[in-house]
Amino acid sequence: MSDIQNQIAANGQAALSSVAAAQTLADLDHVRVTVLGKKGTLSEALKSLGQVPAEERPKLGALANEWKSKVESAIDARKVDLEAKQIELELVKTKLDVTLPSRKIHQGSLHPITQTVRKVSQVLGRIGFDVAVGPEIETDFLNFEAVNIPKDHPARDMQDTFFIGPGVVLRSQTSPVQMRAMRSQKWPVRILSPGVVYRCDSDATHSPMFHQIEGLWVDQKVSLADLKGVLDFFAKELFGSDTKIRLRPSYFPFVEPGAEVDVSCAICAGKNPTCSMCKGTGWLEILGAGMVHPRLFELAGYTPSEVSGFAFGMGVERIAMLLHDIPDLRLMFQGDQRFLKQF
């Protein structure tokens, strides 16, 4: 056997043991390069065949090629093994415990105030009221003068207002939204204006920031009877079909006549003198209302003799407190989960 023949066989054997010893895909690749690469041992052997006598070349060439394919298939087989080993290793490392309990899904819920606004809007939406909104920073003119509360009018004391600049206030009521609507469109107008309002007031039943919903219906021949019909429907939808309403004459500068509206107490119907809701009176005040003052039509650019209308306004927190028997209004602004989770 010639030296070259021995050399080829030795190189081939060495390559096979390196393949068998390779522990990673990187090791294996290294073997491939050092044996079969351009400068690899077997490739060099093939190149040196130029120096052997011509009659020996075919035999030696065949031998070298035989070893080359032996090593190639050994590398391929080892590669399959090593890849399987690697997957195995990864599986062990990233073990999944399918018995672990899953993460809890936290479901949010709507704040009782949002729920109440939506409920009221939905009930009145069914009889044709559209929702209208306006800015919380309002002009003194629209918040007061345009709704018939001129400067120095004693009615300004009814709403302790935050003045934030000359002629600018944090709106103390959502009535300016009604005025904005009338000034921007011709009658008929039938709107609801839910929104945040501000008054300098704070105790168990008052908050410096609270929510109001006002309603306005202006058309030809809208009457006090229509107002009563709408409020009766509203009260029955909100508090139950047995609910009765009662109108007591009252004063609001933007309506004439004006009234405070009560609903019958669903808890005791006036039969329990110590009832926590109605204190035994049988009635709970829920809103203010009345027939739109002709002065407002003038300021809106309507002809007062052509139209009539009614308006009503309620505090959303008060309605929510009555609906859910909430004792203190401040609970609604503290963000306490124990309170909020009940809704």
Contacts with ligand PHE by CB under 6 A lie at 173, 175, 214, 252, 255, 288-290, 311-313
Q: How many CB atoms lie within 10 A of CB 162?
A: 14
Q: How far is the CB of 103 from ligand PHE (least distance, A)?
A: 46
Would you say 195 or 288 has its CB closer to ligand PHE?
288
Question: Which residue has its beta carbon closest to ligand PHE?
Answer: 313
> Under DSSP, is residue 301 helix (H, G, I), strand (E, B) or coil?
coil
Helices 112-125 and 316-324 sit at what angle, rounded to 10 degrees?
100
Q: How far is the CB of 221 from ligand PHE (least distance, A)?
A: 19
Q: How far is the CB of 116 from ligand PHE (least distance, A)?
A: 16
What are 199's two structure tokens?
């008054």
Would you say 42 or 181 has its CB closer to ligand PHE?
181
Distance CA 212, CA 312 (A): 10
How far is residue 193 CA from its own chain's centroid?
22
Would you say 217 or 302 has its CB closer to ligand PHE?
217
Measuring CA to CA, which residue among 134, 129, 204, 118 is closest to residue 173? 134
Q: How far is the CB of 199 from ligand PHE (least distance, A)?
A: 9
Helices 224-239 and 112-125 sit at what angle, rounded to 10 degrees?
130
Amino acid at 60: L
Would you say 143 or 264 has its CB closer to ligand PHE?
143
Cis peptide before 257, with omega less than 30 degrees from 0? yes
Would you say 60 or 259 has its CB closer to ligand PHE?
259
The residue ranges of DSSP E strands in 232-282, in sequence order, are: 245-250, 255-264
Mention every residue, 6+ apart, whose C-beta is less than 8 A from residue 224. Answer: 257, 291, 310
Amino acid at 338: R
Distance CA 325, CA 318 (A): 10
Measuring CA to CA, which residue among 177, 254, 258, 178 is closest to residue 216? 178
Q: How far is the CB of 265 from ligand PHE (least distance, A)?
A: 22
Q: How far is the CB of 182 from ligand PHE (least distance, A)?
A: 13
Q: How many residues belong to the chain?
A: 343
> What sign does the CA torsion over 192, 197, 201, 203 have?
positive
Would you say 173 or 207 has its CB closer to ligand PHE?
173
Would you say 40 or 315 has its CB closer to ligand PHE?
315
Q: How far is the CB of 238 from ligand PHE (least distance, A)?
A: 17
> Under DSSP, is residue 256 helix (H, G, I), strand (E, B) or coil?
strand
Q: How far is the CB of 314 from ligand PHE (least distance, A)?
A: 7
**Cβ(178)–Cβ(146) under 8 Å?**
no
Would you say 31 or 292 has its CB closer to ligand PHE?
292
